[in-house]
Amino acid sequence: MVAITVIVEFVESFDQPILLSTLKQEFSPEELMVVRPGNRLSVIPVPEAVAMRIMAMKTQTS
């Protein structure tokens, strides 16, 4: 087993949370690991393109 350290930095908050049900509508399980059956809401890898789409959703929820 290989240990990997990742530095995480707070960028900004959302006025309204994005619900898991919304993420499931917007992203496929291949794009976003958290929408795969059996996964838990925790720290997961998110591809940069997906992260940018999630950040764009901020303006849709405000």
pLDDT in tens, the chain (62 residues): 888 887 878 888 888 889 989 999 999 999 999 899 887 767 788 888 998 999 998 877 55
Residue 58 lies in a domain: yes
Residue-number span of the structural domain to which 22 is assigned? 11-35+43-62
Residue 52 lies in a domain: yes
The count of structural domains within the chain is 1
- Phi and psi at 55, nearest 5°, equal -65, -35
Whole-number pLDDT of residue 50:
93
**3-class SS at 32?**
coil
Residue 3 lies in a domain: no
Whole-number pLDDT of residue 38:
85
Residue 5 lies in a domain: no
Whole-number pLDDT of residue 12:
85
**3-class SS at 51?**
helix
Residue 28 lies in a domain: yes
Residue 57 lies in a domain: yes
